[in-house]
Amino acid sequence: MNNTTLTELHCAVSGRLRVVSDHALRDSDPAAHLEQLKAAAARLEELISTLPDATDPMLRHYLERQSYVKALDWLETALASNCPGGRAIPSSSEN
């Protein structure tokens, strides 16, 4: 899988997690929060549906079972291993 695909997946997974954790929006405007959740989920599902057959089985497992924190960790490790000198994207715990 190329870095572009990994980065797109990283953005989609982290975006979905960000929307889920946006309790202020959920509390102040539940309808807007639901729309953002739907959009984030749709983007992620679109990317998952186009994954190549050769996708790492653990990544596929995490994504299909919606273990998004584990998927994010997997993606960050994969991106870092492709980036000379360190992490390509800050860890989810660093955001």
More confident residue, 90 or 73: 73
Among residues 44, 19, 16, the alpha carbon closest in space to that of 32 is found at: 19
Predicted confidence (pLDDT) per residue in 6-65, tens digit: 999 999 999 999 999 999 999 999 999 999 999 999 999 999 999 999 999 999 999 999
Would you say residue 89 has pLDDT above 60?
no
Sign of the CA dihedral running 5, 62, 11, 34 = positive
pLDDT at site 82: 74
**Rounded Cα gap, residues 69 and 73, in angstroms:** 6
Query: Residue 46: its pLDDT value, please?
Result: 96
Q: Which residue has the higher pLDDT, 83 or 76?
A: 76
pLDDT at 83: 65
